[in-house]
Structure 1
Amino acid sequence: MKIRRIPIALRLFLTVLLTTLVITTVSLGVLHWNMQRNFTRYVSDVEMQKLDHLIANLAEVYEVYHDWGNSIQAQILQIEGKAGPDDYDRLSRWWLRRQYDIALQQRYFQENTNPLLTVRNIESQGEKHAVDQDELKLLELNLPSQFQPFDGLKFPLSENQNAFRRSNDKDAKKEHAPVNSAQSGKKQFIQMPDRLGLSSRLSLYDAKHHFVVGEPSDDQVSYRAIMVNNQVVGYLGLKPVLDQDDALSINFFSNQKRYLLLVYGLTFAASLLASLLLATYFKKPIQRLLNGTRELTKGNYQHQVKVNRNDELGDLSNELNQLAVILDQHETSRRQWVADTSHELKTPLAVLQAQIEAMQDGIRKPTPEHFASMLGQVNSLKKLTKDLADLAQAEAQQLQCYMTEMNPWDVVLQEVENFKPKFDQAGLTVNAEGEGAVLQLDIDRFKQIMVNLLGNSIRYTETGGKVHLHTVQDAAQWSVYVDDSPLGLSDEQLARLGERFYRADDSRTRATGGTGLGLALSVKMAKAMGGELSFEHSPLGGLRCKLTFPKQMK
């Protein structure tokens, strides 16, 4: 069954779009739910700011009586006369409303009689009209006290006719029969207009949130603590003025919902556009990288991916381009390897074939001398194939080394002694001076390196020249230098030493049987044993070979 592919650009587009939509949906939903849940409480908290004077009065009352029940009972008992059957209950329910009305009157009187408060009130509210002085005078004569909230009443309550008056009643209209405020020194009840309707929504609770008096409510209630001597003695509660089911609330939240839906739509459009641009922004470089990898699989290692980005995709394109360069180098090296190998094998094989054909045609006789010449060609082929096998293992990091403790200087001196006949035959003077050290090396690989270096000096040093060997060492490493006199090398030739089949003087090396693999193999073997073989210009005018190995740390 074929599985339908989803392009990465489409996945990125859908991921960004859906993520934005989910976040927006959840955020707006939580905002709307939280607004519906806490809006009425917020309105109540704002209204509670207007009850500071009442809270201060209640604190003063509690400080005198030390108990809310005692406060209410003591202030009711200040009324003279014989109470009716339900007069105490009526006054208890009315007590908190009366305290609110007293606080409202006191605040109104202070704001309109204190010059500083009057100016501040006019500036903040923009009031232009003058306060009725007759009204203030009447309010001053009958200004109540929070300690005598029922001053002006008498039992039974049914006889308190016309004891109340509204502060804005210009025509002195009474709700009950007239009562002279001068009789017995009793005050008249002046009722302030409660425009916010706070008095019908107030409730009083003790320090443990137990209901005392007022209007109990099952809804959320806003509380303000009543403090006496920095201790909470009670709470003033206010029932919310708004209900989620009333017309005003429904209209308000409907408007808010429309605004939220508009915000949701704009967010959706913006996220759609941003997701599309972002997906396109990532799709183009990814497509170029995909095309680049396809070109590499086809063998087109010259192809370069152009992604001018300062991010991970830009880094990936640079690495892909670098990989293409490396693969191109490896392919070029592989082709050169095959060409050089076939060329090196072709020469001894052609010579051997010619000698055999000459014997078959009777041109050459099968003498020991001719067989020895043929054996020499076979040995050359054998040495070439062995060097190729060792070099291939070294490049594949599979060259086996059997490390053991040894003194490399002893091996150097031994090989110099073995090469003395060849040095004498080439007319070269050899000199060796140095000190040994105890190193962990493969003795056979080390001998092979020294043989290659000494043989290279013989092939590339003119007759009458010199070869000088010496050592340098410190606490960390031991080095042996092989210096020879001209022929010297140019900088370009020096840089290519160590490459496969490279010969500084091809004709001279072929004459002496060199394959061009010795130095390349020596570099690999030194590295396999943890050392390094490098090449420099020699102070004697020829080539300096520096072979360095680390000392074993104790």
Structure 2
Amino acid sequence: MNIRRVPIALRLFLTVLLTTLVITTVSLGVLHWTMQRNFTQYVADVEMQKLDGLMGNLADVYDVYHDWGNAIQAQILQIEGDAGPDDYDRLSRWWLRRQYDIALQQRYFKEHSLVTAGAAMNASNEMLNDEKAQDLKFIEQNLPTAFQPFEGLKFPLSANQNIFRPSDPKDKNKAHAPVLQHNQTGKKHFISMPDRLGLSSRLSLYDAKKQFIVGEPSDTQISYRPIIADNKIVGYLGLKPVLEEDDAVSINFFSNQKRYLFLVYMLTIISSLIAALLMATYFKKPIQRLLHGTRELTKGNYQYQVKVNRNDELGDLSNELNQLAVILDQHETSRRQWVADTSHELKTPLAVLQAQIEAMQDGIRKPTPEHFASMLNQVSSLKKLTQDLADLAQAEAMQLKCYLADVDPWRVIEQEIFNFKPKFEQAGLTVDADGEGAELQLDIDRFKQIMVNLLGNSIRYTEAGGQVQIHTEQNAQEWTVYVDDSPFGLTDEQLENLGQRFYRVDDSRTRSTGGTGLGLALSGKIAQAMGGQLSFAHSPLGGLRCKLTFPKNI
């Protein structure tokens, strides 16, 4: 079954886009719902901040009467005359509006008095308008108090012309000015203030338990503000929200908000679409380059380098991929060199054998014991080479078998020095050995193989009359043996290449003495297999120093 493949860039694009859309949709939806639910309450709370004067007046009234009902009744009874049938009910409903009107007049007089005082202090200003000054003086003379809200009225209420007629809000010239009503009683004149915000028609008074007393009751959510007298709550002033779901102004307001939110939503979609596209493209290009680089490696093009200049994980991945390509190229070069060197090393003894056998077949050379010994020598060289190749291949594949046991390495070294004594004498070399033993976990046969390679290497590369020194060092953790010889010496470049497969410092000299160029490389691998290390340096004697180190049993 064929499963449709979705590219990672497309997945990233859709993920970013859909995530942004979901977050935006939920956020704007919650914002719209919260606005509809709480905005009207917020508006009412803001409007309540304008009622500080009214709150203070109501607290002062309660301090005098200690009961809202008694306060309203007592202040209505201050009016002279004979009340009409429904005058008391009308004044009870109107009492809170009248208290608001008084607080409005007091604030109006206070604000304009400050303006007048400031203008009078500035001698450069022109004279204030006489009519306005006279009105302000009249307000001051007839300024009511919260304890006599109905001063200037008389019963019956029908005798007070236009007293309940609100000012025309369309009259711009009088929208902010008080309306003066004159009476014939000789007392204070009744002053009606225009209610620009319409607060008076939405006010209601509640007792300390939030039981309705007077004002405009409402079934909708009301903004409450406590009235505090003598450091305790004696009642609440309620304000009906100006915005309602069925109100035309509210419908128009929320319709505008929906349009704005929809515009924000569309702009967010377009922005997220562009951002998601740019981000997907930003990640798609380096991923494609990495994919192309991987394909080149699978084709065997190990010299291909991925160019991703980024300081992030993709940049790190490209660097690792390039490093892998370098390593693979080195391994491939090493493999080819291995095959070439192996075939070259096998070709020489096989060519010699072939020539000797063909000479015998043609009757040029007789099958004498000396000729057979020469041929056997070539066969031995082939056998040694193939054995070294097999051991080295096993060591590099981590498959070299080592049978570890408690061994004193110095005794093994002394034995091998004794075995090599005829060869040292034949080469004209002097051997000095001074060392101490230790108990190590080693494969004795493999350790002998290492020492045979090191001692044989010294014989091949030390001039006649030279010397070989063997000594040991040890501490609590390690045991080390040094094999130093005198010139021939090695250059730094030769020393760096020493231990590589088929590397010979002097190829012709080594071939003449039977070297294969694998001994030191194999010795290093065997030492590693047993937990040790073989390294090379310049010898104090002027030749080569071989340092073989093994950890002690702890």
Q: Give yes or no for contact 1:164–1:190 (8 Å, CA) kept in 2.
A: no
Are positions 1:27 and 2:27 aligned together?
Answer: yes
1:132–1:451: structure 2 CA closer, same or farther, 3 Å change rule? Answer: same
1:129–1:366: structure 2 CA closer, same or farther, 3 Å change rule? Answer: farther
Letter in 1 for 2:197: L
1:543–1:79: structure 2 CA closer, same or farther, 3 Å change rule? Answer: same
Residues 123-202 of structure 1: matches in 2 within 5 Å?
132-151=132-151, 158=156, 161-162=159-160, 165=163, 180-182=185-187, 188-202=189-203
1:399–1:226: structure 2 CA closer, same or farther, 3 Å change rule? Answer: farther
Structure 1: 5+ residue stretches without partners: 123-127
CA distance in 2, matches of 1:463, 1:269: 88
Deviation at 1:325, TM superposition (A): 1.4
Counterpart in the other structure of 2:43: 43
Q: Give yes or no for contact 2:178–2:191 (8 Å, CA) kept in 1.
A: no
CA distance in 2, matches of 1:517, 1:82: 135
Letter in 2 for 1:221: I
Letter in 2 for 1:227: I
Counterpart in the other structure of 2:462: 461
Residues 358-507 of structure 1: matches in 2 within 5 Å?
372-507=373-508
1:76–1:443: structure 2 CA closer, same or farther, 3 Å change rule? Answer: farther
Are positions 1:306 and 2:307 aligned together?
Answer: yes
CA distance in 1, matches of 2:64, 2:407: 107
Q: Give yes or no for contact 2:179–2:192 (8 Å, CA) kept in 1.
A: no
Counterpart in the other structure of 2:219: 218
CA RMSD of aligned residues (A): 3.5
Deviation at 1:307, TM superposition (A): 2.5
Letter in 2 for 1:501: F
Q: Give yes or no for contact 2:181–2:191 (8 Å, CA) kept in 1.
A: no
Deviation at 1:265, TM superposition (A): 3.7
Counterpart in the other structure of 2:242: 241
Query: Tell me, what secondary structure is at the counterpart of 2:493?
Result: helix
Query: Tell me, what secondary structure is at the counterpart of 1:533?
Result: strand
Q: Give yes or no for contact 1:202–1:236 (8 Å, CA) kept in 2.
A: yes
Deviation at 1:90, TM superposition (A): 4.6
Deviation at 1:4, TM superposition (A): 3.2
Deviation at 1:443, TM superposition (A): 3.1
Deviation at 1:117, TM superposition (A): 7.8
Q: Give yes or no for contact 1:111–1:117 (8 Å, CA) kept in 2.
A: no
Counterpart in the other structure of 1:125: none
Q: Give yes or no for contact 1:226–1:234 (8 Å, CA) kept in 2.
A: yes
> Structure 1, residues 45-75: CA drift from partner, whole Å, max 9, x if none?
3322211111122233344455545554565
Counterpart in the other structure of 1:514: 515
CA distance in 2, matches of 1:230, 1:392: 98
Q: Give yes or no for contact 2:178–2:194 (8 Å, CA) kept in 1.
A: no
> Structure 1, residues 382-422: CA drift from partner, whole Å, max 9, x if none?
32222222212221223333444443333323322222222
Q: Which moved more, 1:362-371 or 1:466-475?
A: 362-371
Query: Tell me, what secondary structure is at the counterpart of 2:159?
Result: coil
Name the TM-score, length of structure 2 as normaliser: 0.85
Structure 2: 5+ residue stretches without partners: 123-127, 168-173
Query: Tell me, what secondary structure is at the counterpart of 1:6?
Result: coil
Are positions 1:290 and 2:291 aligned together?
Answer: yes
Q: Give yes or no for contact 1:161–1:179 (8 Å, CA) kept in 2.
A: no
Counterpart in the other structure of 1:14: 14
Instruction: State the percentage of identical aligned residues.
Output: 77
Letter in 1 for 2:462: T
1:449–1:240: structure 2 CA closer, same or farther, 3 Å change rule? Answer: same
CA distance in 2, matches of 1:342, 1:191: 121
Q: Give yes or no for contact 2:471–2:482 (8 Å, CA) kept in 1.
A: yes
Query: Tell me, what secondary structure is at the counterpart of 2:204?
Result: strand
1:419–1:84: structure 2 CA closer, same or farther, 3 Å change rule? Answer: farther
Deviation at 1:455, TM superposition (A): 1.1
CA distance in 1, matches of 2:414, 2:233: 103
Q: Which moved more, 1:64-73 or 1:21-30?
A: 64-73
> Structure 1, residues 117-168: CA drift from partner, whole Å, max 9, x if none?
8769x9xxxxx967734444444444333234455667xx646732885897
Q: Which moved more, 1:412-421 or 1:369-378?
A: 369-378
> Structure 1, residues 410-451: CA drift from partner, whole Å, max 9, x if none?
332332222222211211111122333443433333222222
Are positions 1:2 and 2:2 aligned together?
Answer: yes
> Structure 1, residues 65-107: CA drift from partner, whole Å, max 9, x if none?
5554555456556668998886665544333223212212222
Q: Which moved more, 1:374-383 or 1:357-366?
A: 357-366
Letter in 2 for 1:61: V
CA distance in 2, matches of 1:455, 1:318: 44
Q: Give yes or no for contact 1:536–1:544 (8 Å, CA) kept in 2.
A: yes
Letter in 2 for 1:295: E
Q: Give yes or no for contact 2:446–2:526 (8 Å, CA) kept in 1.
A: yes
CA distance in 2, matches of 1:170, 1:417: 132
CA distance in 2, matches of 1:232, 1:418: 115
CA distance in 1, matches of 2:353, 2:233: 117
Letter in 1 for 2:30: V
CA distance in 1, matches of 2:159, 2:141: 19
> Structure 1, residues 180-209: CA drift from partner, whole Å, max 9, x if none?
144xxxx55432221211111012334454
Counterpart in the other structure of 2:171: none
Q: Which moved more, 1:525-534 or 1:162-171?
A: 162-171
Q: Give yes or no for contact 2:81–2:156 (8 Å, CA) kept in 1.
A: no
1:374–1:146: structure 2 CA closer, same or farther, 3 Å change rule? Answer: same
Letter in 1 for 2:243: L
Q: Give yes or no for contact 1:164–1:189 (8 Å, CA) kept in 2.
A: no
Letter in 1 for 2:132: D
Q: Give yes or no for contact 1:110–1:117 (8 Å, CA) kept in 2.
A: no
Residues 105-120 of structure 1: matches in 2 within 5 Å?
105-114=105-114
Q: Give yes or no for contact 1:359–1:366 (8 Å, CA) kept in 2.
A: yes
> Structure 1, residues 483-525: CA drift from partner, whole Å, max 9, x if none?
1011111222111101011111111111222111111111122
Letter in 2 for 1:195: R
Q: Give yes or no for contact 1:471–1:481 (8 Å, CA) kept in 2.
A: yes
Letter in 2 for 1:547: L
CA distance in 2, matches of 1:463, 1:233: 122
1:443–1:365: structure 2 CA closer, same or farther, 3 Å change rule? Answer: same
1:519–1:195: structure 2 CA closer, same or farther, 3 Å change rule? Answer: same
Query: Tell me, what secondary structure is at the counterpart of 1:132?
Result: helix
1:244–1:508: structure 2 CA closer, same or farther, 3 Å change rule? Answer: same
CA distance in 1, matches of 2:359, 2:209: 126
